[in-house]
Amino acid sequence: MQKYLSLVFACVLSSLLSIFLYTRFIQSNRVVWSGEAGDARYTGLVDKLFNTRSNKGFLSAAPTNFIESAEVATPAVVNIRALIQSGNGIWGGSVSGSSGSGVIMTPDGYIVTNHHVIDKSTDIKVTLADKREYKAKLVGSDPSTDIALLKIDESDLPFILFGNSDSLQVGEWVLAVGNPFNLESTVTAGIISAKGRNINILGGGTSIESFIQTDAAVNPGNSGGALVNTVGELIGINTAIITESGSYEGYSFAVPSNLVQKIIGDIREFGVVQRAFLGVAIEDVDNERARELGLPSAQGVYVTRVNADGGAADAGLRDGDVILGLNDVRLKRTPELQELVGRFRPGQELTVEYWRQGKKYKTRVVLKDSRNTTSVARVAGDELQDDIGIELRDVNKEEQRVLRMPGALVTSVKRGSIVYDTNMQPGFLITSVNGNRVNNAAEAIDAIKRAYNSLALDGYYEGEPDLYSYRFKKRE
């Protein structure tokens, strides 16, 4: 009997020892939730051996609610169909088109989209999320940033508020909202993968590529749609994907909202983008150059050339300087500098922090345009002289009071030109081009240039109530 009691005692003691060892070392490797949500603790044998702590506090592990953001954004994202006519008319030509998305920015119908969605189009149709359809007018576009501004005649429309794209952080949740192929709004979620990306798709020496990269799914037809944060604010315009198959493969890119806001503001106010330049040629700083120059890190923008008479030259910058920051914003690479400068207009000032011969300096640079002037850029008026033979200008306040309507005033007609043969006279006020209303010379010039072949210029002469219409074809 004593033998059996000893055996039972040994079993109990072994079990208690096993429980003690399990709770002391092994069990503590599991997650234990305590206190408020997100207060998770990890403690285990590794912690004890290496005197470490694994209490990370999973602040981002809680479920993220995208419902409110989607409800704000989806009514303001539209479908855009742009038709392009080629050939010499109905019988000898053909009509093609493109489809994309757009974002309503104001309740009175201003819509932002990509330049490549409406490029060379002769007819633009916009379909709202509630299926209402409108004919849109192109207010203006900027190929260097791939942004265009449209206008439809409507009021009390749902619209999206601008967010601050500078505040975005890598890893932050975002939604991509599009309206492709009239499938109504589609919403996908992802995170910010990177900022300041240059993928060399826009071309040209003056293009600005400082894209927000995300892994939110963006497919053909979503170009021009909205990238929004979790409160429904616009923080980018979805523009491109990198793909080998033609479909989404995990890399999508958006124009930052702070740059978009400046571009469409210029187009709406002036008809053209007021583009400012520092007046330098630049490239990224690599590790080898950083060591040569004694920089603490391989960050900043290396100045390879300072343009004569540019803003940088006036401020004393030299070849070989490294620009470290603009207006107290630190720079890592060239796309960031291009984006920041692209938000300013000629004549505005920037504080530039730069590195020269082992020391930091600061200076003030007055930005200039491509002609090294600080004046506001406007259309010259003679852009159509060689094409159809007319010069245009905006009407002044006195003429506006007399004519009582906006438009583009014809100031001269070139003898022997296409327009000369129509008997159009100087003083003709163009109020529409191919049925699309124009409010100034910039809009008229852009509409005439975009027309493929046939043109109809409607308008009035001062003191005459009748509408005049001049119809002709542009030369091949």
Please tell me the predicted confidence (pLDDT) of residue 396.
Answer: 78
Say what the pLDDT of residue 336 is.
94
The predicted pLDDT at position 22 comes to: 53
Residue ranges matching CATH 2.30.42.10 in the chain:
280-366, 390-473
**For residues 194 and 167, what is the distance between their CA atoms, to the nearest angstrom?**
13
Task: Give the pLDDT of residue 30.
Answer: 36
pLDDT at 195: 93
Q: What is the pLDDT of residue 55?
A: 43
The per-residue pLDDT for 3 is 57
115 catalytic? Reply is: no
Supply the pLDDT for residue 51. 43
The residue from 69, 98, 101, 116 that is catalytic is 116
Range 63-272 classified under CATH 2.40.10.120 = yes
Nearest to 164 by CA among 229, 214, 112: 229
- Determine the pLDDT at residue 6: 65
Low-confidence ranges of the chain (pLDDT < 70): 1-64, 85-95, 182-183, 204, 243-248, 380, 475-476
Provide the pLDDT for residue 245.
Answer: 65
Q: What is the 3-state secondary structure (H, E, C) of the chain?
A: CHHHHHHHHHHHHHHHHHHHHHHHHHHHHCCEECCCCCCEECCCHHHHHHCCCCCCCCCCCCCCCCHHHHHHHHHHEEEEEEEEEECCCCCCCEEEEEEEEEEECCCCCEEEECHHHHCCCCEEEEECCCCCEEEEEEEEEECCCCEEEEECCCCCCCCCCECCHHHCCCCCEEEEEECHHHCCCEEEEEEEEEEEECCCCCCCCCCCCCEEEECCCCCCCCCCCEEECCCCCEEEEEEEECCCCCCCCCCEEEEEHHHHHHHHHHHHHHCCCCCCECCEEEEECCHHHHHHHCCCCCCCEEEEEECCCCHHHHCCCCCCCEEEEECCEECCCHHHHHHHHHCCCCCCEEEEEEEECCEEEEEEEECECCCCCCCCCCCCCCCCCCCCCEEEEECCHHHHHHHCCCCEEEEEECCCCCCHHHCCCCCCEEEEECCEECCCHHHHHHHHHHCCCEEEEEEECCCCCCCEEEEEECCC
- Pick the catalytic residue from 98, 141, 144, 146: 146
Fold annotation for 390-473: Pdz3 Domain (2.30.42)
- Please tell me the predicted confidence (pLDDT) of residue 476: 55
Reply yes or no on whether 454 is catalytic: no
Half-sphere CA count of 397, side-chain side, radius 13 A:
0
Where do the CATH 2.40.10.120 domains begin and end in the chain?
63-272
Taking domain 280-366, whether its CATH number is 2.30.30.100 is answered by no
pLDDT at position 425 = 93
Which residue is catalytic, options 99, 165, 210, 223?
Answer: 223
